[in-house]
Each structure stands twice: as structure tokens, then as C-alpha cells.
């Protein structure tokens, strides 16, 4: 329940524009007190929402009219210039209603006003609420209001060998890649993304995908999904022995065209073909969505667009959907409403988060995600990776840092931090650069053994 001090702060702050509903286990009296403390907030009032800085009209956000995709696949079209915007009301956050929001400036520098369809969250209320989905309540750890909803076990998906190395200009020998993968598996990581079956013309670093898969064919103890951008890549991956694949979509039209050379709708049709082939071959598919918070070209990405793509991937049969903050601009204040929108159309236990640490926000975003019931986190050993669209980007969140934080929270991962650090040291020595993991850097100079911390 909100304290009197918090209520006084609400009254002092003012500028509360309305309320939205909360469908979670909050203290009813606290919620009523919070609502009553805001001047001018009446029982049935619902604030009009708009994004004031982009210059986009309401028609650009919602639009009108439907369209059907080819081959009997129906994708809603809503009159947007991008051709795929959806009715925001379908993906709006149920859990955020009855919570009062401030007009504020978003973390990406845009002036935001909470709208009835795209939630803009004031992250200050997070600690009073339980976001955990009913389907994972039995697996959450005990604790106070802030940490009580965190899962007891978190699965870490290691993406270093693929996402981490793909941007390296100097070709890493296959032997080194295989050695890195084996060291990561020995640390207890349950999933290690091994490589990508994409054209070597586009990603020369991963041109040895077939050789890597052959070298790890008999390695046990982990799953080795591989990225497949199209049906041709899927067929090549399966022929090379891949037992699990991943596909890559975007919530940003501009990023989709620059990254995979097609529109969002075209990519969804392409992946539909992959999903049919995967179902026939009994191969699980993991779906990635990039730019879930911000795009280097378009700026802010509405949560409704992320939810739209996520639902399409889920309907295709993706067993897990990883939500990626590609340029690392997200904060809990922008990540929470995005997750809320997606969780309305995809079960929380089918979701993963993938954060880049460009602005040093990755761990805080992961913590906020855990509070909402997310139990799968992507990370990269030694913080390998980067983003060519963000100057000074430091790449993916480091696996060592994630494991260290989860250990401190009492969350089980079955990952040996010391062995992950050895793997990070191994690849960093080959790349002739220091680790981007703050944990690895600190512990490398510490007199205490990692097991004592």
C-alpha cells in the first residue's frame, strides 16, 4: 500500500492527468487512496492520449481498414503509411489501468502523454505492484514487495558466439569459435546460440556455420539454436544438424528494410514459410523482435507495434519470443509498458528479453522484466557485440554481469560464474581487447575468489 509520504508527494507533484486500470494484486485500499489523492481524477475519467512530438496524427497510429496477406494469411492493415498499424485498443495494457500517470519526457527525449492505447509508465509505482503472471506464480521466489515476484529460476540464453561475434571485422577462426562454445557449455549455460545460416556476403564472420555445427555435433549439455533468415537458410541449417532455429523480425519498418531488406509484412510472410517447414521437421523456432523500444531511424517505437509482431510470431508457432532493445535506449519506464502490451497477446512464459547496454540500463531493465514474470534472459559473454547504429554502443549485456546480479538476488541459474569468466577471458585474449563485463573486470583484480562473493 502506498505510504502517506508517497501520497503527499503525489499531491505536491500534481500534473496527474487521469487514471488507468490495474489488473494485478495491488492493495485495494492503497489504490483507492492513490486515486483519491490526485486532484481532478474522477471515477470514470479516462485521459485522452497522444504522442505530441512526432507530428504523427491519430490516423498514423491507428488508421482504418483491413487488408489480407497472400496465401490465405490475413494480416490487419490500418491505413498507416507503413501499412501494418493495428488497433491500439487490442494491445493496450490491461494491467496499467487505474494507475495515474504524469505527463513526462520519455527516456529517448520524446515528450509523451499517456494515451488510452499506448501506455506510458511512471516507473515510480513499480514496487507496489505484482506483475507476475498466474502461470508462473508457483515458480516465484519469496521476498518483499519489490523482489517477491522474481522467478526462482532464470534461463540464460548465451548469444555471444552468434550475436556477439557477427560484427567482428577480423574473422575469428572456427577452432576458436568452437572452443568458446564448449567453454560456455561447461559453465552450465543451457542454451548457446551457435551461429547463423545467413549469406556470407552479408555476414562474412559466420560463413563457417556448417563447420561450426559439425564440430559441436556431439557436444552435450546445451541446446544450440541457429539463426535462419529465410527458408533457404532453414534448410541449410537442418542439413547441417541444427535441432532448433531462430528467426529475426523487427518492430520498426525502417530497421526491417535496412537489416533484412524487406518490410515487416514481407518478413512475416517469409517466416510463415519457415514455420511450416519447421513444423513438418519437428524443429522448434525461436523468434526475435528487434527495436522493441527505439529505432535508430524512426525513434520511439509504440508498444502496440511490438505486440502486433509478437502475436504474429506466436501464432506461427514460435516456442519463445525474444524482445530486443537493439540500440540499448530503453529504461524501465519504457520497457514496462512494452512488456505489458506484449503480455496481453503472448503468454509471459513464452517471452525472453534481450538488452544492449549502450546507456548502462540493461541490468535495470532485466530486473524490471523479472518483476513482471519474465524468466528467460539473453546475454553475451564478456559483453560481446555492438550496434553499428549507436555511437559508443557497448553491445549486449554481459553474461557475467547477469549471473552476478541473479546470484545476488538468490535466483537459480545453474551457471558457474567462474567458468563463464574463463570463457570471456579466452575470447577477449583472442580479440585482443578487454572484457566489457564490469563483474569480470572487478573480480579479475579482487583478492576474494568468485565463489566467496
- Catalytic site residues? 387
| Angle of helix 332-343 versus helix 303-316 axis, rounded to 10 | 40
Buried b / exposed e over 269-301, threshold 16 CB at 10 Å, is: bbbbebbebbeeeebbbbbbbbbbbbbbebbbb
- Cα 202 → chain centroid: 24
Q: Degrees (nearest 5) of the Cα angle 267, 394, 337?
A: 55
Amino acid at each position: 500500500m502506498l505510504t502517506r509520504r508517497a501520497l503527499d508527494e503525489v499531491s505536491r507533484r500534481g500534473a496527474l492527468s487521469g487514471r488507468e486500470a490495474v489488473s494485478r494484486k495491488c492493495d485495494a485500499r492503497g489504490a483507492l487512496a492513490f486515486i483519491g489523492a490526485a486532484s481532478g481524477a474522477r471515477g470514470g475519467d479516462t485521459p485522452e492520449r497522444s504522442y505530441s512530438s512526432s507530428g504523427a496524427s491519430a490516423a498514423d497510429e491507428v488508421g482504418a481498414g483491413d487488408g489480407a496477406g497472400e496465401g490465405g494469411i490475413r494480416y490487419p492493415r490500418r491505413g498507416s503509411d507503413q501499412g501494418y498499424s493495428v488497433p491500439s485498443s487490442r494491445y493496450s495494457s490491461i494491467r496499467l489501468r487505474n494507475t495515474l500517470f504524469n505527463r513526462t519526457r520519455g527516456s529517448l527525449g520524446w515528450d509523451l502523454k499517456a494515451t488510452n492505447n499506448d501506455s506510458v509508465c511512471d516507473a515510480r509505482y513499480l514496487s507496489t505492484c505484482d506483475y507476475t503472471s498466474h502461470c508462473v506464480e508457483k515458480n516465484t521466489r519469496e521476498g518483499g514487495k519489490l523482489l517477491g515476484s522474481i522467478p526462482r529460476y532464470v534461463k540464460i540464453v548465451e548469444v555471444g558466439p552468434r550475436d556477439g561475434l557477427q560484427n567482428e571485422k577480423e574473422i575469428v577462426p572456427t577452432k576458436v569459435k568452437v572452443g568458446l562454445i564448449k567453454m560456455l557449455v561447461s559453465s552450465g549455460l543451457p542454451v548457446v546460440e551457435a551461429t547463423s545460416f545467413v549469406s556470407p556476403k552479408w555476414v562474412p564472420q559466420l560463413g563457417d556455420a556448417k563447420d561450426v555445427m559439425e564440430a559441436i555435433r556431439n557436444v552435450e549439455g546445451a541446446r544450440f539454436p541457429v539463426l535462419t533468415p529465410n527458408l533457404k537458410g532453414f534448410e541449410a541449417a537442418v542439413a547441417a544438424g541444427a535441432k532448433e532455429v531462430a528467426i529475426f523480425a523487427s518492430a520498426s519498418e525502417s530497421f526491417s528494410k535496412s537489416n533484412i531488406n524487406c518490410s515487416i509484412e514481407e518478413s512475416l510472410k517469409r517466416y510463415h514459410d519457415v514455420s511450416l517447414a519447421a513444423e513438418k521437421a519437428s524443429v522448434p523456432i525461436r523468434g526475435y523482435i528487434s527495436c522493441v523500444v527505439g529505432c535508430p531511424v524512426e525513434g520511439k517505437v509504440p508498444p502496440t507495434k511490438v505486440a502486433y509482431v509478437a502475436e504474429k510470431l506466436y501464432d506461427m508457432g514460435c516456442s519463445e519470443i525474444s524482445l530486443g532493445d537493439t540500440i540499448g535506449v530503453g529504461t524501465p519506464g519504457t520497457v514496462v509498458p512494452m512488456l505489458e502490451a506484449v503480455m496481453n497477446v503472448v503468454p509471459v512464459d513464452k517471452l525472453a528479453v534481450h538488452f544492449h547496454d549502450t546507456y548502462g540500463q540493461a541490468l535495470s531493465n532485466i530486473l524490471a522484466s523479472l518483476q513482471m514474470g519474465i524468466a528467460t534472459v539473453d546475454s553475451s559473454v564478456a559483453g560481446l557485440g555492438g550496434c553499428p547504429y549507436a555511437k559508443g554502443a557497448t553491445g549486449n549485456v554481459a553474461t557475467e554481469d547477469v549471473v552476478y546480479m541473479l546470484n545476488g538476488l538468490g535466483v537459480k541459474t545453474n551457471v558457474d560464474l567462474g567458468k563463464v569468466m574463463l570463457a570471456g577471458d579466452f575470447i577477449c585474449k583472442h580479440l585482443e581487447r578487454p572484457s566489457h563485463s564490469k563483474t569480470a573486470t572487478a573480480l579479475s583484480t579482487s583478492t576474494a575468489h568468485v565463489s566467496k562473493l
